[in-house]
Amino acid sequence: MKPALGPRDLARPYVAAFVSRFLQMLQYRTAALAGFATQCWWGGIKVMVFAAFYSGSAIAGAASSMSLAQAITYTWLAQGLLVLMPWLGDPEVAQAARTGAVAYDRLRPVDAYALWFARTAGWIAARLLPRVALMAAFAAVALPLVGLGDWAWQLPANALAGAAFLLSVVLGLLLSTAMVMLLNVATTAALNERGIQAVATPVVIVFSGNLLPLALLPDAWQTALLVQPLAGLFDIPARLYFGQLSGAHALGALGLQCFWIVALVAFGRVAMGRTMRSLQVQGG
């Protein structure tokens, strides 16, 4: 009789899938640099828009929920964390769905959802880390050195806010992966990701806070905006960074992220199970 497998043995294939995908994506340095340059360009434009917006005395009261310095830092954070936005499915899954190679994952002696989740998390993490590092070097270090300190990435409100932000970003990565998994399942069912991405992109951009800080939207909308799942990708981490959520409110925000991770993973597993049961491989 074979001995029972321990937690480490059970997790090994998924850890290997994450690490291999992470290392594979790190090889695309030119893509990371191109993405960084593009994000700097758009970040600069958004900073100038915010500077013009806040300079108008008529909107001073409306903008009181976030200072100009916070809005600028919010912009650089948004550019650095841009790859957390789940408007694209995993291209590896999309290709497997088109070619029929997705059938191989059903034959592997592992949980297909967990395997895809690990691969997708590695894909996102490998694109996230270099761009965050480059954006921090540019916006937090280089800009003050050239005399543009007012347009620079500012430090978090305090050490506790910084720690909460880092934890929230990790949860945001898991939340983003859970959402991308829904796109992966939809792509597998439709065999084409273009229409799905076209619908997802504007929704994600607006409700994640990437286009405009959710704190600047009407006060009557704030509760609904904060509890919806897309806020956990960026707006909640940013509020923690600025100290706008602290104490019990910070714990509640982190708990909300955890809730949506569990809920979306559970929904994704059910959706994937139904899709796989009715899957018809091309050419078969």
pLDDT for 259-276, tens place per residue? Answer: 999 999 999 999 998 888
Q: Which amino acid is at 21?
A: R
Q: What does each C-alpha distance from 13 to 18, 58, 92, 118 come to in angstroms? A: 9, 58, 18, 9
- Nearest residue to 255 (alpha-carbon basis) of 164, 121, 176: 164
Mean pLDDT of 128-148: 92
Mean pLDDT of 30-54: 88
Q: What is the pLDDT of residue 154?
A: 93
7 vs 258, which has greater pLDDT? 258
Q: What is the pLDDT of residue 190?
A: 78
Q: Which positions ≥6 away from 14 have C-beta within 8 Å?
A: 110, 114, 115, 117, 118
Which structure tokens are listed for 175?
A: 């939340």
Does 68 have pLDDT greater than 90?
no
Angle at which helices 112-136 and 248-277 cross, to 10°: 140
99 vs 51, which has greater pLDDT? 51
Q: Compute the distance between CA of residue 54 and CA of residue 37 in angstroms, rounded to an integer.
A: 26
pTM above 0.85, yes or no: yes
Give the pLDDT band of residue 74 (cuts 50, 70, 90). Answer: very high
**Average of per-residue pLDDT values in the chain:** 87
Does 63 have pLDDT greater than 50?
no
Q: Are 21 and 122 in contact (CB under 8 A)?
A: yes
Q: What is the pLDDT of residue 58?
A: 52
